[in-house]
């Protein structure tokens, strides 16, 4: 009986991460006052804080959400971090679950950089940790979308030029300088030739990518969780064209009930319900 209950819970969790019936929530956040060319997005600290990368000013900007996970309640926290010393075209970003470490993918340098936050989730206290991973070999070097497994031992990057998701192992958890390519990748070119955003469900059984060319979010299933070589397309996608025709970054609420895309042309973050 216990065995059956465990199986049912696992299935329910997987079913929650399904965007087949997703719809625009008519909620948005304008970031135009901070940067004219935004690319990356991350929501953290239980949905009370948001972070956006700007390619014009080469900074990471921090926002406060008065209602957790409701992007329409976000306001600029007057906190930012310049990353110009590392990269002149910052793309996407990711945080360690406790908010003490931030990772940034660089569009011009073809590297992922690591930063330490002396006060968790406060980007104004971040400093470069002098740790990076060179990505010039995989995917033509340009890999904007980044995601790290919750235990810090697996990293995934989606490549614009390679049209694929690439998998890495971190021999020291959460230390990006210890990352090595697993020689495993999954092509997404049949869905979009310019994938930018990347996100995984907590179980590692579902993967989502946002395509800049088609302006859609795509859903995939991994037969073996966290093993990108076992991924397959679910033939499920959601168009975000009505909100922006140049969608880039992508992130989800931890329970899978909402997702958010970065609209580079509209200079807005748009929220959707699943």
pLDDT tens for each residue of 89-133: 899 999 999 999 999 998 888 899 999 999 999 999 999 999 999
In this structure, what token pair is assigned to residue 178? Answer: 């210890």
Token look-up 């807005």 returns 268
| Tens-place pLDDT, residues 45-95 | 999 999 999 999 999 999 999 999 999 999 999 999 999 999 998 999 999
Q: What is the pLDDT of residue 16?
A: 73
pLDDT at 8: 37
Q: Answer for the pair 208, 188: CB distance below 8 angstroms, yes or no.
A: no
- Helix, coil or strand: residue 245: coil
Q: Is 3 helix (H, G, I), strand (E, B) or coil?
A: helix
| Average pLDDT of the segment spanning 210-215 | 92
The torsion region of residue 80 among left (phi > 0), alpha (psi -120 to 50) and beta comes to: beta
- DSSP, collapsed to helix, strand or coil, labels residue 210 as strand
Q: If DSSP codes are grouped into helix, strand and coil, which group holds residue 47?
A: coil
List 104's β-bridge partners, or say none: 93, 113
Tokens read off for 80: 């930012």
Q: What is the mean pLDDT of the chain?
A: 92
Residue 269 has pLDDT above 90, yes or no: yes
Q: What percent of the chain clears pLDDT 90, i.e. is strictly above it?
A: 81
Cα separation, 211 vs 239, in Å, equals 10
Does this model's pTM top 0.85? My answer is: yes
| Whole-number Å distance between alpha carbons of 253 and 50 | 12
pLDDT for 209 equals 96
- Between these two residues, 10 and 188, which has the higher pLDDT value? 188
Q: What is the DSSP letter of 266?
A: T
Q: Where are the beta strands (DSSP E) in the chain?
A: 23-30, 38-44, 49-54, 59-65, 74-82, 90-95, 101-106, 111-117, 126-134, 145-148, 154-159, 164-170, 179-187, 195-200, 206-211, 216-222, 231-239, 247-252, 258-263, 268-273
Give the pLDDT of residue 162: 64
SS3 2: helix
| pLDDT mean over 220-230 | 97
pLDDT confidence of residue 11? 38
């Amino acid at each position: 009986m216990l065995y059956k209950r465990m199986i049912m819970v696992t299935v329910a969790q997987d079913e929650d991460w399904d965007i087949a019936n997703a719809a625009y929530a008519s909620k948005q956040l304008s970031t135009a006052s901070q940067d004219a060319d935004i690319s990356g997005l991350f929501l953290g600290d239980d949905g009370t804080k948001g972070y956006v990368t700007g390619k014009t000013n080469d900074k990471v900007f921090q926002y406060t959400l008065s209602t957790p996970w409701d992007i329409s309640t976000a306001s600029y926290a007057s906190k930012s971090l310049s990353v110009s010393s590392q990269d002149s075209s910052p793309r996407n970003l990711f945080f360690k679950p406790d908010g003490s470490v931030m990772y940034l993918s660089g569009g011009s340098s073809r590297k992922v950089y690591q930063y330490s936050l002396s006060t968790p989730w406060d980007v104004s206290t971040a400093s470069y940790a002098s740790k990076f991973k060179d990505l010039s070999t995989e995917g033509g070097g340009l890999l904007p979308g980044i995601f790290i497994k919750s235990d810090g031992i697996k990293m995934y990057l989606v490549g614009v030029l390679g049209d694929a998701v690439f998998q890495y192992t971190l021999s020291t958890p959460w230390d990006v300088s210890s990352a090595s390519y697993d020689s495993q990748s999954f092509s997404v070119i049949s869905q979009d030739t310019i994938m930018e955003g990347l996100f995984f469900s907590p179980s590692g059984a579902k993967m989502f990518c946002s395509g800049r060319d088609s302006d859609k979010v795509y859903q995939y299933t991994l037969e073996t969780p966290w093993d990108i070589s076992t991924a397959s397309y679910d033939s499920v996608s959601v168009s975000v064209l009505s909100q922006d025709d140049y969608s880039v970054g992508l992130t989800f609420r931890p329970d899978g009930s909402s997702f958010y895309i970065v609209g580079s042309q509209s200079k807005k973050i748009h929220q959707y319900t699943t």
